[in-house]
């Protein structure tokens, strides 16, 4: 059966760990696996802009022996003249995998339903699961393991990154804390799913509006932009922004357990994080960016070799 990766929990805890093990292996020996040899083509479709996702998938597909086909916003019939179902059926006959950055999660689900090749979510309004795989790999490298580590996310607790940290982090057995203002906290469905998963993995999810308590003893502090792609910046980015209190600064880092700082990038210094933190000794954001390449190569290898 064709496997897809549309959200973090599409990999079981054991499968997620297996992908991370494979990522470590591929980072050490980058050309050791060639599931796309032929070369086969992998389509990478963008409805939103990107630097890391575009470059890491293009480079990763090439390193796996394949040929990336990058489709930029507005270039395909998809979204204008042709349905998702027809697009999926046409592309499935020509490419080995479909990687798609889009808006609605339901669009990805529809693509997967009609695709006979793996569909990978490279960011939707609801989830960014490829980023979380890279982040877990980075945490493993810097902290030795992911299971049992405490990770606090600051800012918009209802965006794609927050949802993926909640599910992907708990899937890995982490204690995830989401520090976010009221009105921007995770949806009840995400909390319920994470809590159910926590019973299985030994992880946990805590939601709070107290930034200081959330930093205390944390191993990892992480944040994201206050305005995600497709969102209106009004009420999010101005002086009265509800997120100001949740900016990651050196005081919060100092409350952690020799904490590392992560950010998916692009970052806005002086908004969600101070320059002192993101450019300082706790920051591992460029290891994290590099790990997009290794984690996604492992993910593609895993899905293609099923």
One-character DSSP codes across 220-271: EEEE--SS-TTS--TTTSSTT-TTGGG-B-HHHHHHSSS-EEEE-S---BTT
Closer Cβ to ligand NVA, 213 or 229, answer by number: 229
Closer Cβ to ligand CP, 131 or 283, answer by number: 131
The reply to whether 224 sits near ligand NVA by the rule CB under 6 A is yes
Only one of the segments 64-72, 98-106, 159-167, 187-195 lies at the binding site for ligand NVA (rule: CB under 6 A); that segment is 159-167
Is 80 a known active-site residue?
Answer: no
Residues 81-120 that bind ligand CP (CB under 6 A): none
**Helical H segments across the chain, by residue range:** 13-28, 52-63, 84-92, 105-114, 129-143, 160-164, 170-171, 188-201, 211-215, 250-255, 275-278, 285-304
Residues 94-153 that bind ligand NVA (CB under 6 A): 123, 128
Q: Which of 128, 175, 177, 294 is catalytic?
A: 128
* Alpha carbons 3 and 83: distance in angstroms, whole number: 22
Q: Which of 9, 40, 53, 92 binds ligand CP (CB under 6 A)?
A: 53
Site string for ligand NVA, 257-286 (x = CB under 6 A): -------x----------------------
* Alpha carbons 2 and 133: distance in angstroms, whole number: 20
Tokens of 259: 């904490």
Q: Which of 101, 175, 177, 294 is catalytic?
A: 101
CB of 128 to ligand CP, least distance (A): 6
Residues 173-192 that bind ligand CP (CB under 6 A): none
Interhelix angle 188-201/13-28, rounded to 10 degrees, is 80
Tokens of 23: 């990522």
Give Cα separations from 259 to 10, 115, 212, 214, 292 (angstroms).
29, 42, 14, 12, 21
CB of 119 to ligand CP, least distance (A): 17
Is residue 299 within 8 A of residue 15, CB to CB? The reply is: no
Q: Which of 2, 32, 51, 116 binds ligand CP (CB under 6 A)?
A: 51
Q: Which residues does the annotation place in the binding site for carbamoyl phosphate?
A: 50-53, 77, 101, 128-131, 264-265, 292
State the catalytic residues: 101, 128, 131, 224, 264, 292
Q: Which residues does the annotation place in the binding site for L-ornithine?
A: 160, 224, 228-229
Chain residues that interact with ligand CP, rule: CB under 6 A = 50-53, 123, 131, 264-265
């Amino acid at each position: 059966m064709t496997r897809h990766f549309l959200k973090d929990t599409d990999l079981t805890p054991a499968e997620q760990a297996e992908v991370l093990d494979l990522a470590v292996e591929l980072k050490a020996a980058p050309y050791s696996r060639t599931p796309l040899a032929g070369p086969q083509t992998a389509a990478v479709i963008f409805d939103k802009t990107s630097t890391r996702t575009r470059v890491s998938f293009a480079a990763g597909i090439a390193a796996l022996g394949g040929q990336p086909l990058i489709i930029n916003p507005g270039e395909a019939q998809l979204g204008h003249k042709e349905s998702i179902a027809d697009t999926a059926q046409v592309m499935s006959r020509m490419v080995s995998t479909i990687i798609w950055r889009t808006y609605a999660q339901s669009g990805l689900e529809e693509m997967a339903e009609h695709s006979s090749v793996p569909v990978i979510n490279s960011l939707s309004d609801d989830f960014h699961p490829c980023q979380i795989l890279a982040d877990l790999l980075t945490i493993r490298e810097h902290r030795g393991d992911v299971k049992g580590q405490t990770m606090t996310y600051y800012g918009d607790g209802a965006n794609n990154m927050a949802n993926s940290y909640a599910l992907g982090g708990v899937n890995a057995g982490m204690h995830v804390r989401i520090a976010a203002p009221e009105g921007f906290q995770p949806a009840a469905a995400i909390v319920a799913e994470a809590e159910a998963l926590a019973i299985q993995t030994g992880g946990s999810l805590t939601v709070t509006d107290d930034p200081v308590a959330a930093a205390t003893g944390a191993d990892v502090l992480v944040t994201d932009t206050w305005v995600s792609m497709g969102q209106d910046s009004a009420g999010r980015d101005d002086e009265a922004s509800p997120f100001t209190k949740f900016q990651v600064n050196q005081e919060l880092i100092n409350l952690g357990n020799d904490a590392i700082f992560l950010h998916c990038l692009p970052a806005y210094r002086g908004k969600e994080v101070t320059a002192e933190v993101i450019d300082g000794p706790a920051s591992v954001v460029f290891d994290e960016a590099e790990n997009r390449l290794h984690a996604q190569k492992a993910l593609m290898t895993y899905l293609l070799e099923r």
